[in-house]
């Protein structure tokens, strides 16, 4: 935690701020009622505020619009299709046109309201319009809070793949209002928890203990346990991205930002093979079990820790096994992953809790053996 704010004592009522030490440092704020406090983040120099929101989050977007208006800014509500349907060049272009026709200038701002897909699209629009407008993210999914809205990566999809076009654009602030999670379907909450579990394994054992002690509380948006999990997962991401702002290649034993890719090489392959019919977090949960098995087979991880992966993930309702008979497709998909280099597969593995490492070019036999164990769901 060297370059981020040290962990403040847990305060159940007031918001908690987690600093990201980017080129322009910013705070990720976690708390309740924050939708009513967006204007506090905006500098006085801002005049107009485009609220780019998922069209399923209209009530929240209107609350944001009303609040910024009361504070003297001029809001413009810009609905976009919910979910991945927002992450297209056509939707981005429609947003650029809207901002252009409304005469937005460099001193205006964007506020995003929605899940990770919406914050990715709105962040990309903010990054590109006039070469960069100020953006504040208000993520309304757990995945958006602990992952997508933090770290400055923005992007859209093309016909050839997800997130193929994008830009790094740090927000001015991220407001994680836990009240917005009250309406989130439980499968979406669980999907976000996969990234929380990931943060536990690669960096923060306290996350695992919280999840193991009271799994139902971890899945209850009203509980202080979920709040602490959100804060801790964000602190992990803030720490990693602060130390490795431009996703530089890992060198030596410092895994850097790549640690956040734990479970993702296989996770992305599963998403492709399933034609995006599984949630990202579900695919990553399966991917973490696979890579834990791989770590063990490579002689780097003790067997009980593989079982711990299965127990923690299953405890919050995430899948821990996968269909047999899909190995050739999965291997092909992993080779296409943008994190691989040519035919050389590269995995973030685990040596111990909070000790990630890199495994380069494991043998095909080892990989297939890990897949077989994943499918048989042995502990």
Ligand X SMILES: NC(=O)c1ccc[n+]([C@@H]2O[C@H](COP(=O)([O-])OP(=O)(O)OC[C@H]3O[C@@H](n4cnc5c(N)ncnc54)[C@H](O)[C@@H]3O)[C@@H](O)[C@H]2O)c1
> Does residue number 107 form part of the binding site for ligand X (CB under 6 A)?
no
The residue among 8 and 222 lying less far from ligand X, judged by its C-beta, is: 222
Burial of 85 (0-12, 13-18, 19+ CB in 10 A): middle
Residue 117 contacts ligand X per CB under 6 A: yes
User: Which is catalytic among the residues 268, 296, 310, 346?
Assistant: 268
Q: Check if 309 is active-site.
A: no
Q: Is 134 in the site for ligand X (CB under 6 A)?
A: no
- The site string for ligand X over 140-169 (x = CB under 6 A, - otherwise) reads xx-xx--xx--x-x--------xx------
Phi, psi of 233 (to 5 degrees): -65, -40
Is 293 marked active-site?
Answer: no
**Contact flag: residue 200 with ligand X (CB under 6 A):** no
- Reply yes or no on whether 131 is catalytic: yes
Distant-in-sequence, close-in-space partners of 251: CB < 8 Å, separation ≥ 6? none
236: three-class secondary structure by DSSP: helix
- Of 48, 264, 272, 309, the catalytic one is 264
- 314: phi > 0 → left, psi -120 to 50 → alpha, else beta; which? alpha
Is 228 among the residues that bind ligand X (CB under 6 A)?
Answer: no
CA atoms within a 13 Å half-sphere pointing along the CA-CB vector of 235? 22
> Could you give the CA distance from residue 327 to residue 186 in angstroms, rounded to a whole number?
30
- Residue ranges of the alpha helices (H) in the chain? 58-70, 89-101, 116-128, 142-143, 186-202, 205-213, 215-218, 224-243, 264-273, 280-297, 303-315, 327-336, 364-376
**Would you count residue 88 as binding ligand X (CB under 6 A)?**
no
Site string for ligand X, 65-84 (x = CB under 6 A): -----------------xxx
CA 66 – CA 130 distance, rounded (Å):
26
Judged by CB under 6 A, does residue 268 bind ligand X?
no
Does 170 bind ligand X (CB under 6 A)? Our answer is no
Q: Check: CB of residue 350 under 8 Å from CB of residue 199.
A: no
Q: Which of 54, 219, 250, 320 binds ligand X (CB under 6 A)?
A: 54
Eight-state DSSP code of residue 14? S
Decide: is 261 part of the binding site for ligand X (CB under 6 A): no
Find the distance separating the first CA and the last CA of the chain, reported in whole Å. Answer: 33
Backbone angles phi and psi of 21, in degrees to 5? -85, 65
* Binds ligand X by CB under 6 A, chosen from 11, 105, 107, 183: 183
Q: Does 63 bind ligand X (CB under 6 A)?
A: no
Using the rule CB under 6 A, is 171 a contact of ligand X? no
Q: What span, in angstroms and rounded, lies between the C-alpha atoms of 291 and 266?
A: 8
115 in contact with ligand X (CB under 6 A): yes
| Catalytic-labelled residue, pool 36, 84, 212, 247 | 247
Tokens of 54: 């998922």
Least separation in angstroms between residue 324's CB and ligand X is: 28
Active site residue 188: no
- Residue 293, interface with ligand X (CB under 6 A)? no
Which residue, among 178, 173, 212, has the nearest Cα to 308 in the 3D structure?
Answer: 212
Query: What are the residues whose beta carbons fall under 8 Å from the beta carbon of 9, sequence distance 6 or more?
Result: none
Neighbour tally for 59: CB within 10 Å: 13
Q: Which residues pair with 19 in a beta bridge?
A: 27
- Applying CB under 6 A, among 170, 177, 188, 204 the residue interacting with ligand X is 188
Candidates 4-12, 127-135, 180-188, 339-347: pick the segment binding ligand X (CB under 6 A): 180-188
116 counts as binding ligand X under rule CB under 6 A? yes
Q: Alpha-carbon distance 352 to 96, whole Å?
A: 47
- Which of 48, 87, 170, 195 is flagged as catalytic? 195
Is residue 274 annotated as part of the catalytic site, yes or no? no
Rounded to a whole number of angstroms, the minimum distance from the CB of residue 194 to ligand X is 10
Binding residue for ligand X, selected from 63, 118, 134, 261, defined by CB under 6 A:
118
Q: 234: closest CA among 294, 192, 288?
A: 192
State which residue, 120 or 258, has the beta carbon closest to ligand X: 120
231 classed as catalytic:
no
Q: Under rule CB under 6 A, how many of the chain's residues touch ligand X?
A: 29
User: Which residues carry out catalysis?
Assistant: 131, 153, 195, 237, 247, 257, 261, 264, 268, 280
The contact set with ligand X (CB under 6 A) reads 54, 56-57, 82-84, 87, 114-118, 120, 140-141, 143-144, 147-148, 151, 153, 162-163, 180, 183-184, 188, 191, 280
């Amino acid at each position: 935690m060297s370059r981020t704010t040290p962990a403040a004592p847990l305060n159940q009522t007031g918001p908690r701020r987690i600093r990201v030490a980017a080129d322009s440092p910013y705070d990720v704020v976690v708390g309740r009622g924050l939708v009513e406090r967006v204007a506090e983040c905006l500098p006085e120099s801002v005049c107009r505020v485009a609220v780019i929101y998922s069209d399923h989050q209209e009530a929240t977007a209107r609350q944001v619009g009303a609040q910024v208006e009361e504070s003297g800014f001029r809001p413009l509500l810009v609905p976009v299709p919910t979910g991945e349907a927002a992450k297209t060049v056509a939707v981005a272009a429609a947003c650029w046109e809207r901002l252009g026709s409304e005469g937005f200038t460099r001193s205006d701002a964007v506020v995003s309201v929605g899940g990770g897909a919406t914050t990715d699209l709105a962040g990309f629009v903010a990054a590109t319009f006039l070469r960069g407008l100020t953006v504040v993210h208000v993520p309304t999914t757990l995945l958006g809070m602990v992952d997508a809205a933090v770290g400055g990566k923005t992007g859209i999809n093309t016909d050839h793949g997800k997130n193929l076009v994008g830009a790094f654009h740090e927000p001015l602030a991220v407001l994680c209002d836990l009240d917005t999670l009250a309406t989130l379907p439980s499968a979406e909450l669980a999907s976000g928890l996969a990234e929380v579990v990931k943060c536990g394994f690669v960096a923060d054992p306290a996350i695992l203990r919280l999840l193991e002690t009271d799994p139902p509380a971890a899945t209850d948006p009203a509980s202080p346990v979920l709040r602490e999990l959100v804060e801790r997962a964000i602190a992990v991401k803030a720490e990693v991205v602060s130390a490795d702002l431009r996703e530089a290649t890992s060198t030596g034993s410092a895994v850097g930002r790549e640690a956040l890719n734990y479970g993702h090489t296989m996770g992305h392959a599963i998403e492709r093979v399933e034609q995006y019919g599984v949630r990202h977090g579900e695919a990553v949960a399966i991917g973490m079990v696979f890579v834990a098995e791989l770590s063990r087979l490579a002689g780097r991880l003790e067997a009980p820790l593989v079982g711990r992966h299965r127990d923690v993930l299953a405890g919050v309702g995430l899948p821990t096994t996968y269909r047999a008979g899909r190995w050739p497709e999965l291997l092909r998909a992993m080779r296409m992953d943008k994190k691989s280099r040519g035919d050389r597969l590269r995995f973030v593995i685990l040596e111990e809790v909070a000790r990630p490492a890199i495994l380069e070019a494991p043998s095909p036999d080892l990989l297939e053996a890990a897949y077989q164990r994943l499918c048989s769901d042995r502990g």
